[in-house]
Structures are given as structure tokens and as C-alpha cells.
Amino acid sequence: MQAPLFADATPIADGAWLLPGLALGAAPALLDAVAPAVWRHYQVPGGGRMSVAMAALGPLGWVADAGGYRYSAVDPLTGQPWPALPAAVLALAREAAAAAGYPGFEPDACLVNRYAPGARMGLHQDRDERDRRWPIVSVSLGMTATFLWGGLTRRAPVRRLALHHGDVVVWGGASRYTYHGVAPLAGPAHPLLGAQRLNFTLRRAG
């Protein structure tokens, strides 16, 4: 692993870094950016609905429908483009990616997940993006979550990692297809955001 460019950078696995508090400065811009978001609970192939509410920002948004999962330039719910990714958020994504060893990252999609207490995300891989060489930059705001970090197969052992308000995780390289999820949200409300957690994942999808 290379010498980190961010003093508090903590290695998680090969290609994956935790950058504690790196997003604190960009939090107001992130909250402004999602203010106009239209939230929805996507249906999953099994027939149920996700407990996490989702929205998207930027040129491409991740959507789930009867045809599966894909990226779309328009919101199927509104027929409109997704709200824009503000410059401050793009700057944060570039800074985080560079700090983790991925210079030149230009995200074109940001999936936003909103968790109420009890909401969770099952173990999954993120593999709908075209070019696996780009990492994913994940920003957490609000209540602390327990992130589940598995391995490259569904049955690999799972580590538990606390993600706090302002924390950034970057992963790519050998970790790009790691199985991961989020345990049911629990614990005290956040002083600023109340009883919820927001997670922003910035990606190069197209």
C-alpha cells in the first residue's frame, strides 16, 4: 500500500481506505444537493421492497426495475434528469479518490441511500459500472452505521466497521468487487440530521 496523502487514512483492505471525517467540510453542499431529491423504495427481484430509500444525483442514476439494475440518464419516476452534482461534492470525490491512490477520478453518478432506524442493506457487490478500474467513493452523514465488509465470495467472513458522520470510504483495485452491506440502523439520533443516515456513493458508471 502506498503512503497515504491524508494523514488519518486507515487501510481497510488491499485498494480500500477509510478516510475519517474527510467529508465534514462538504456536508452542507451534500445536504443542499439532496434537498430536491425524490426518494423511492425500489422493488427487489424477490418481490419485496428495499428498506433503504434511494435517490440519485448527477448525469447517471442507478435504478432498479423489472428488467434488473441499470444506470439511467432520466429518473423513471419523474421523466426528468437527476439533480446536479455540486462542484464541492465533485471536488470531495476527486480529493478522496486521489488520497486513496486513484488520481483522475471523474464521477458521473451518485447514488444516495437514506436509512431510517431499522433500515438495512443486504450483502451485495457493486458491479453495474462499466469500468472496474475506477473506485467507488462512499460518504456517510448522520447516524453511525455498522458497515459489513465481506470478501470476494458471498460466504467469506464479514468484518464490522463503524462509519460516522463525515467519514469517507474509497475502494477499488483488488477490493472493487468485495461483498458489503449495512446492518440494521440503530443507536442515538444524530445532532444535525436526526434519526437517519445518508450515504452517498460516487461512481464512474458510464
- The listed partner (ligand MD6, Fe ion, none) that binds 64, CB under 5 to 8 Å by sort, is none
How far is residue 188 from each of residues 176, 182, 193, measured CA to CA in Å?
Answer: 31, 17, 11
Task: By CB under 6 A, tell whether 175 contacts ligand MD6.
Answer: no
Residues 6 or more apart whose Cβ sits within 8 Å of residue 120: 51, 52, 181, 182, 183, 184, 185
Closer residue to ligand MD6, CB minimum distance, 6 or 200: 200
Task: By CB under 6 A, tell whether 37 contacts ligand MD6.
Answer: no
Q: Which of 90, 113, 142, 166 forms a contact with ligand MD6 (CB under 6 A)?
A: 113
Which residues between 136 and 155 bind ligand MD6 (CB under 6 A)? 136, 138
| CA–CA dist 70, 76 (Å, integer) | 12
Per the structure block, which three cell numbers stand in for 172? 477499488
Q: Give the binding site for Fe ion (CB under 5 A).
A: 126
Q: Give the binding site for ligand MD6 (CB under 6 A).
A: 113, 121, 126, 136, 138, 169, 180, 182, 199, 201
